[in-house]
Amino acid sequence: MDSIVVQGGQALKGSIPIAGAKNACLTLMPATLLSEEPLTLTNAPRLSDIRTMTLLLQSLGAEVSSLAEGGVLAMSSHDINNHTADYDIVRKMRASILVLGPMLARDGHAIVSLPGGCAIGARPVDLHLKALEALGAELDLREGYVHAKATGGRLKGGRYAFPIVSVGATENALLAAVLAKGTSVLENVAREPEIVDLAQCLRAMGAHIEGEGTGTLTIEGVDRLHGATHPVVTDRIELGTYMLAPLIAGGEVTLQGGRRGLLEAFCERIEAAGAEVTESPAGLTVRRANGPMRAVDVETAPFPGFPTDLQAQMMAMLCTAEGTSVLDEKIFENRFMHAPELTRMGAKIDVHGGTATVTGVDRLRGAPVMATDLRASVSLILAGLAAEGETKVSRVYHLDRGYEHVVRKLSGVGAKIERVKDDV
């Protein structure tokens, strides 16, 4: 098992290229199941979650090839010969549930295991299922599997209003509705850039969709979709993560390909804390505006609010900010598991339910710490950039699910960081 070792105290200077979005790519890949013709994704990240989705699609009969050092995914689903997504693959990643809508839409039946995923609280799939039922799906849950079929062999247009905003459920319903007979209206949908990206890809494949980026999607079902080539949108979570690095360690970093529109609420919060964010054709350049960072309150919310996937990294930055900050986690319960590990490094954090109070300290101290999930792992690496001495982050296999080349990217701007093999 690998660990990442960080020697703190180095100011950062230079540029970091930002990859295509993991969450977008995982949503786009199942779209290949909707057509017999090829779907090609460019700007695709090389991550373990992408490999897991590749294995899942291949198990269903799809052909998936990685080209150009992983930056291009070439897919074809001309011969879907299996309609059961097995537990052994699905349990590894929650996004696996996104094959349900496309298989049901294309062939009128599917059996998909209930998914697993990282341990950040309950993340039920009931909204996925209710939205599909509104499109005419008949569902039966047996022995941990969703057995789904479309009445009459084809989904039908319908209307569904999500009781709460759900990114994954919006994606599954949209993937299903594009081949449903008639018009579907989805209300209170997610508005994330990944949803917009999916709609643009499906439209390139011949789908009729209106309203992406708003609270209502209107989809006029078509009989078939054709092939397309589509670039994966920039990863706004990787972007925000590396924007915090110079604010924690000092220095100035340009994030290549970054756009403020992907993270407006996040930019406003870090600017309130003392960051300077400059947008140019090259991307976003970030540095401390004047002196040390200051405390700021944060409340996570669905897009366009502050992303829950940047809460852990923001907490790492606030550990050495002047004053006391309050972070309210409104999306997932049990998402402060990084707090005890940051406390091991000298942070002052008090957690009560979904609220964490962070009182800034003069400096953090390097320590052995353990990653508990994907975003927690990178928050500990960021904290290590500001800590005195050595920080060793173990269980970094979580990191490989969502960040490619972390060591290369941070060392390229001056961080002292390396990945090491642990003694067995």
Distance between CA atoms of residues 154 and 159, nearest Å: 16
Residues in CB range of 345: below 8 A, 6 or more apart: 319, 364, 365, 366, 367, 369, 383, 384, 387, 391
* pLDDT number for residue 373: 86
* pLDDT number for residue 68: 66
State yes or no: pLDDT of 40 exceeds 50.
yes
Detail the DSSP E strand segments found in 257-376.
Answer: 275-280, 283-288, 298-299, 324-328, 348-352, 355-359, 364-365, 368-370
Instruction: Answer yes or no: is 88 a known binding residue.
Output: no
What amino acid is encoded at 265 in this protein?
Answer: A
183 φ/ψ angles, rounded to the nearest 5 degrees: -100, 135
- When pLDDT is cut at 50, 70 and 90, the band that residue 122 belongs to is very low
Domain locations along the chain? 2-19+235-421, 22-231
Q: Per CATH, is 22-231 categorized as 3.20.20.80? A: no
State yes or no: pLDDT of 105 exceeds 90.
yes
Range 2-19+235-421: architecture per CATH? Alpha-beta prism (3.65)
- When pLDDT is cut at 50, 70 and 90, the band that residue 265 belongs to is very high
Q: Could you check whether 2-19+235-421 and 22-231 share the same CATH topology?
A: yes
The whole-chain average pLDDT of the chain stands at 94
Residues in CB range of 374: below 8 A, 6 or more apart: 118, 398, 399, 401, 402, 403
Q: Tally helices (H) and strands (E) across the chain.
A: 13, 26
* pLDDT number for residue 333: 74
Query: Looking at residues 266-287, what average pLDDT do you find?
Result: 98
Instruction: Answer yes or no: is 302 a known binding residue.
Output: no
- When pLDDT is cut at 50, 70 and 90, the band that residue 92 belongs to is confident
- What share of the chain in percent tops pLDDT 70? 97
- When pLDDT is cut at 50, 70 and 90, the band that residue 34 belongs to is very high
* pLDDT number for residue 139: 95
Query: Looking at residues 130-136, what average pLDDT do you find?
Result: 97
* pLDDT number for residue 56: 97
Distance of CA 113 to the CA centre of its chain: 21
Query: Looking at residues 84-98, what average pLDDT do you find?
Result: 91
Tokens of 383: 């904290």
Instruction: Answer yes or no: is 350 a known binding residue.
Output: no
Instruction: Answer yes or no: is 140 a known binding residue.
Output: no
Residues identified as active-site: 118
360 φ/ψ angles, rounded to the nearest 5 degrees: -65, 145
Question: What H or E segment, with its residue span, contains residue 271?
Answer: helix 264-272
Check if the beta carbon of residue 107 is closer than 8 Å to that of residue 60.
no
Query: Looking at residues 361-388, what average pLDDT do you find?
Result: 94
Q: For residue range 226-251, list pLDDT tens digits in order.
A: 999 999 999 999 999 999 999 999 99
Instruction: Answer yes or no: is 408 a known binding residue.
Output: no
* pLDDT number for residue 365: 98
* pLDDT number for residue 117: 46
What amino acid is encoded at 49 in this protein?
Answer: D
Instruction: Answer yes or no: is 51 a known binding residue.
Output: no
Query: Looking at residues 1-15, what average pLDDT do you find?
Result: 96
* pLDDT number for residue 374: 82
State yes or no: pLDDT of 422 exceeds 90.
no
pTM: 0.90
Check if the beta carbon of residue 286 is closer than 8 Å to that of residue 300.
no
Rg (CA), the chain: 22
Tokens of 198: 């999916």
Query: Looking at residues 97-109, what average pLDDT do you find?
Result: 97
* pLDDT number for residue 70: 60
Instruction: Answer yes or no: is 81 a known binding residue.
Output: no
